[in-house]
Amino acid sequence: MFVEISYLKQSTVVVLLILSVSAIGCLSATRPILGRISLNESISDGQTLVSGNFVLGFFSPGTSSHRYIGIWYNSDPNGTAVWVANRNNPVQDTSGILKFDNGGNLIVSDGRGRSFIVASGMGVGNVEAAILDSGNFVLRSIANHSNIIWESFASPTNTWLPGMNITVGKLLTSWKSYDDPAMGDYSFGLGVVNASAFIIWWNGREFWNSAHWNGDINSPIPELTSIDIIPVSFRCDNLTCTYTPNPSDRLTKIVLDQTGSLSITQFDSEAKSWVLLWRQPVSCDESKLCGVFGVCNMANIHILPVSLDSDQSPCQCPKGFAKQDKSNTRKGCTRQTPLQCTGDKFIDMPGMRLPDPRQKVAVVEDSGCQSACMKYCSCTAYAHSLSDGCSLFHGNLTNLQDGYNGTGVGTLHLRVAASELESGSSSGHKLLWLASVLPSVAFLIFCLVSFIWIRKWKIKGKEKRHDHPIVMTSDVMKLWESEDTGSHFMMLSFSQIENATDNFSTANKLGEGGFGPVYKGSLPNGQDVAVKRLAANSGQGLPEFKNEILLIAKLQHRNLVGLLGCCIDEDELVLLYEYMPNKSLDFFLFGMGTVERRQMV
């Protein structure tokens, strides 16, 4: 019995020792170290330096497996880095160590024997690396802490912290991507030529610039004055610029992200998240960008950067609302007709990012959710879905966003006075009536204009054609007489031609050529003639008509058919030839049979 008790005591002691050693090992692997390290100290992956609100240690951004030395806010659950030491030289695994080398330089080394100098010790002995409460990581003399040899504030990455000076030539540089803190395409800083303005560059080209510094604390970004509580106050001169947060104890940062957007955010300690207060180029993610009842839609932005008071403003008002101040959309929208509490209606706004806060109500049907909202005069909207149930929204709504791609999207039923929908219905009927009537009216106008145009064209054509008989008769007679044919040339009227051909009867039709059909006619004196009438689809006109008269006049011969006269009457152009009762030469050459041709011979 004694032996068993003694053994049990020994076993208990061994177990306690093992647990103690394990606990000590775990703590030593993750314990935060006092905010500084000296020449003979180091930080391995898993250890951190802590000072105030800031932490320095190894981290992996996003989905990357690479390890970087960085600084982040201690209270930020996402641990988003505000500074990265080895942004272009990541450690491939968890073997990284931050330490001093023999020359007093602060380096990052890995298990493969590679190293990267973070800060040069400048040959100064007895130095230490420390992270300050401001988030500035410094290399300083141990004997004199004010002797700063190197500081991270002088080598920023993509984040501008309070107290950090931005000077000419010292630029923020965006990350390459969300997962890669390497130097990206965008940079931010004071202009080289004009140091009184902030500028964003894209691959060296100016992408955006702020207003000029005129001594006012908000002059570089005048839009900040439209925010309820101005988040930052700038202090600038011709070569440098810094800022202080408002309130002074609020965690604040200015970040240039991988898309080239510059943003001002403050940390909400209760929600444990960052609130976007200003962004350029404009983003619908900005808190209260469009004010109360204002709806933000990034699809309305076409030109960057966008001014909120421009035509390309992303802020619009729902039906029944109007902008309080067209020059400042942050003031939001106001109702054109106050709610009546009873008898109000709802307008449907699909695809909306639903606002917060909300009141959850245990009803199943959409109609029940609407009835629940109508019970409260303060209820200004409701949303209902099978997955999320019924949500009621009270008072002034903010951060409404249309076309949102994230979670929490649904149809928002916004409450308006019944008269707004009635007036909209009346105007809708008017629009419907106009839509049905306008096409008919437009068609009638088109027909009327076409008729008038055709009428004028015909009248004008007739006026021109009335000139033809006089002009052409004179021309034809001159042509004929100029050739001294010695034969009489007749000018007949069209009615005479019609009488001669029995009104161009098909029985009198002899044939048809390129100029037009040919008819047999009989003049009042009993003479038979061949009447060639210009066809409308022949493609010939006055020039060809005159050419044929001139040609025949030049080729007068007893073995050729003779031209006896013509008729010119408006569109009608007619030539009169000698009639050949024995048919034409081509008939005898090509149209006769072999026997007939032999008999002729």
| CA 476 vs CA 144, 549, 552, 568: distances in Å | 120, 7, 12, 10
The answer as to whether 434 is a domain residue is no
Structural domain count, the chain = 4
- Reported as a pLDDT band with limits 50, 70 and 90, residue 334 is very high
We report the CATH number of the domain holding residue 88 as 2.90.10.10
Q: Are 594 and 494 in contact (CB under 8 A)?
A: no
Q: Are 277 and 330 in contact (CB under 8 A)?
A: no
- pLDDT for residue 21: 39
- Written as six digits, the tokens of 107 are 């380096």
- Written as six digits, the tokens of 75 are 């209270």
- Do both 135 and 198 map to the same domain? no
- Of 212-216, 282-286, 528-532, the one with minimum mean pLDDT is 212-216
- pLDDT for residue 315: 87
- Of 57-66, 261-270, 323-332, 520-529, the one with minimum mean pLDDT is 323-332
CA–CA dist 275, 287 (Å, integer): 7
- Do both 151 and 186 map to the same domain? no
- Reported as a pLDDT band with limits 50, 70 and 90, residue 486 is low
pLDDT tens column, 151-167: 999 999 999 999 999 98
CA–CA dist 102, 122 (Å, integer): 12
Is residue 579 predicted with pLDDT exceeding 70? yes
What is the average per-residue pLDDT within 168-178? 91
The answer as to whether 236 is a domain residue is yes
Is residue 55 predicted with pLDDT exceeding 70? yes
- pLDDT for residue 25: 37
The answer as to whether 598 is a domain residue is no
- Do both 144 and 43 map to the same domain? yes
Report for 96-100, 191-195, 585-589: range of highest mean pLDDT = 96-100
Residue-level length of the chain: 601
CA–CA dist 341, 380 (Å, integer): 10
Q: State which of 155, 174, 194 marks the end of a domain.
A: 155
Give every CB contact of residue 369 below 8 A, 6+ residues apart in sequence.
361, 363, 382, 383, 384, 390, 391, 392
- pTM equals 0.53
Q: Which residue has the tokens 């107290």?
A: 163
- Of 2-11, 29-38, 541-550, the one with minimum mean pLDDT is 2-11
| CA 367 vs CA 209, 288, 374: distances in Å | 51, 30, 11
CA–CA dist 548, 6 (Å, integer): 144
The answer as to whether 294 is a domain residue is no
What is the average per-residue pLDDT within 43-63? 94
Q: State which of 372, 402, 422 marks the end of a domain.
A: 422
Q: Which residue has the tokens 């839509």?
A: 435
- pLDDT for residue 12: 45
What is the average per-residue pLDDT within 498-524? 87
